[in-house]
Structure 1
Amino acid sequence: MNLTLSAIAALVQGELHGDGSQAMTGAATLATAKPGEITLADNVKLARQLAASAASAVIVPRGFAPEGRPFIVVDNVHAAFAKVVQQFRPQRPKRAVGVSPSASISASAQLSAGVEIHPLAFIGDDVEIGEGAVIHSGVRILEGCKIGAGTTIFPNAVLYDNTIIGQRCLIHAGAVLGSYGFGYSSSTGKHVLCSQLGWVEIGNDVEIGSCTTIDRGTYGPTTIGDGTKLDNQVQIAHNCRVGQHNIICSQTGMAGSSSTGDYVVIAGQAGLRDHVHIGDHSVIGAKSGVMGDVEPKSRVVGIPATEERFQYSCVVAVHKLPDLRHQIVKMQKQLDALQAQALASTQACGDSREAA
């Protein structure tokens, strides 16, 4: 489909600068846009990349007036561009699936109105699924699980027994919730698995990424608070307590019984040792190794994780070490020369006294 720039400006409620009759054939990013397509540039710093782009038009924020092509000014670039993309690439219409006869559903499972269960899903004994939930193919929901209304579980996710999922959650493909915690007793000379009598409890409006794993508690729940978003390949160990509205990025690992407050951000590949707590509104930098509690509203980075400014000053100091080494070598040579001169002077004075 084609859309004129005037139509696009009206769609996003933006201010058009340029020929409104020019038709766009699609929408793409700066690096991939072709002639005839519209792109986005959400910052003036992208002016050079925009100049090199083949896009025929661009959506920009206020205060950015690029030259050489028509542009549309909006308050929120990404929200506006998303509307444009949806016009050019609308989502495929979804047909109602209902409950597939090829799904395996226990007679004791309770399914609310409007539940969709796709082919080859497995629903165990005493499972409760709320209104409008969608269970995709290959999902395995074991005994005693509870799924809230409006939640979607994508293909091949696995929920161990007694897992509790809130309302309007998204559980992506391959996620595993409620698996055994990595806890062993070694007092007998063997590694014996500790009790695995707890469960996993997920709040409302939580998103759990593909191949993320959340272990059950030893005796009670491992919990994820309302509104929290977990990226792909995140590991949450047994007895962890994740607060509300956290953002936890890919390949982060939380060891057993660690916890976070609300509105915490943990960047990719960070690691938390066991029994530590991250305070509200804190930010943990990428690849950080958190070895102790973090106070609220902190920003830490590094291994071991320390206050951001201190860590950066250490990095700067390390980068200066080669120059400092050269200076020390030079100063040592100067010192050696001064010591040699002092020794020669002392010997000369001794010879003078002997001659006298």
Structure 2
Amino acid sequence: KLVGGRVRGDGGVDIAEAATLRNALPGQITLAVSSELVRDLRDSQASAAVVPVGFPDVPLPLIEVDDVECAFSQIVAHFRPPRCLTIPASPSPSLPDSARVGPGTQIDPSARIGQDVVIGARCRIHAGVVVGDGTIIGDDTVLFPNVVLYENTRIGSRVLIHAGAVIGAYGFGYQTREGRHHLSAQLGHVEIGDDVEIGACTTIDRGTYDATVIGEGTKIDNHVMIGHNCSVGRHNLICSLAGIAGSCRTGDYVVLAGQAGLSDHIDLGDGARVAAKSGVMQDIPAGETFAGLPAMPEKEFWRMWVTVTRLPELRKKLKELEREVAALRGRLSENRDAA
């Protein structure tokens, strides 16, 4: 009833917990997302499993559903209801007269809200958050502890910004005059679209004159750095420790894997993908996958990698050939001397 699935086998088995396939014990329910896991499920200690429709028979009760991950999430939440960080109901936070806060929004007393700030309805502003002057925040947005929004930041609705993220810090731009580095203009701001999630300790720098933009639906992992004047498209996935230098542009549905890096002024087309630890030094066309340092088309990278893995073997063959050539030269020299 909880997940609306169809039971195959004994529906009366007692279940007290939920666990993943590798860790499941007797009395627990697990999941198998595809028929490729039949053998693993048969070897599991689990007492039941959530599986996709048409899953092969195994010797334990099954619940068939259309979406295994969604159904299993509901089951886990049933046994272990999620806990949310609480915000004290009182004392009321100190707000400047120029700030406007929508109905149902909760603000921790330790948060600092600047002048001319607008916060939408049903937002949650946790402990230690700093919201700079002139910032606008949409509805249903959550700022976890110690998030910092510099002045004039624009945040959409249903945005999650995790602990320690800094939005709108100065961009890393300097002009060298008379032997000294002088900070460039820092007159822009950051705009974040609806349904964006920003991971813990991620930093997004403001534009020099205009906005650094994060498109709607984009998900950014922990410890990501996005430089000034960047424009990140819609529904991007940017994994942990990725770094994007200033003035880069990404299309929609772009993926940057962990520790990927983009040089400045790089353009990535829609659906472009960058493999982990790759260093992008050139534009990537739409739909292409690049890998390596410097990054290159994926097929080219793997051809090169296969060659690199064969280098010890090739070196050994080269040494053998050098010995054979040396031996032949020796025999030729002996023949010339004999003649």
Asked whether the two chains share a fold, i.e. TM above 0.5, the reply is yes
Q: AA paired with 2:335?
A: S
Rounded to whole Å, the distance in 1 between the matches of 2:333 and 2:61 is 80
Cα displacement string for residues 309-349 of structure 1 (whole angstroms, at most 9, x for unaligned residues): 1111111111111111111111222222222233333333x
Alignment check: 8 A CA contact 2:100 2:119 kept: yes
Q: CA deviation at 1:188?
A: 2.1
Structure 1 segments unaligned to the other structure (5+ residues)? 1-9, 351-356
- Write out per-residue CA displacement over residues 115-164 of structure 1, whole angstroms, 9 at most, x where no aligned residue: 22122111110001112222112111011100011211111101011101
Match of 2:302 among 312, 329, 337: 312
TM alignment of 1:34-45, pairs within 5 A: 34-45=25-36
1:145 to 121, 128, 135: 135
Q: Does 1:293 align with 2:289?
A: no
Q: For 2:278 and 2:97, how far apart are their aligned partners in 1?
A: 48
Q: TM-score, normalised by structure 1?
A: 0.90
**Please, which of 325, 329, 341 is the counterpart of residue 319 of structure 2?**
329
The SS at the match of 2:337 is helix
Pick from 48, 55, 60 the counterpart of residue 51 of structure 2. Answer: 60
Contact map agreement 1:166 1:202 (CA 8 A) in 2:
yes
Identity %: 51
AA matched with 2:80: R
- Name the residue aligned to 2:107: 117
**Within 5 Å, which residues of 2 pair with 1:106-255?**
106-255=96-245
In structure 2, list runs of 5 or more residues that go unmatched.
none
User: Which residue of structure 2 lines up, in the alignment, with residue 31 of structure 1?
Assistant: 22
* Equivalent in the alignment of 1:87: 78
Greater CA deviation, 184-193 or 168-177? Answer: 184-193
What letter corresponds to residue 236 of structure 1 in structure 2? I
Alignment: residue pair count: 339
User: Is the Cα–Cα contact under 8 Å of residues 233 and 253 in structure 2 kept in the other structure?
Assistant: yes
Q: Pairwise CA RMSD of aligned residues?
A: 2.0
Write the distance in 2 (CA, Å) between the matches of 1:169 and 1:31: 33
Q: Aligned partners of 2:105 and 2:63: how far apart in 1?
A: 42
- Show structure 1 runs of 4+ deviating over 4 A: 92-98
> C-alpha separation between the residues in 2 aligned to 1:321 and 1:94?
55
Is the contact made by 2:87 and 2:107 (CA closer than 8 Å) also made in structure 1? no
Return the index of the structure with the highest Cα Rg: 1
Deviates more, 1:39-48 or 1:209-218: 39-48
CA distance in 1, matches of 2:154, 2:289: 32
Whichever residue aligns with residue 196 of structure 2, its letter is V
Which residue of 2 is the match for residue 46 of structure 1? 37
| Deviation readout 1:65-107 (Å, 9 max, x if unpaired) | 2633222232221011012112212235898966x43423111
TM-score with structure 2 length normalisation?
Answer: 0.94
- Name the amino acid aligned to 2:14: A
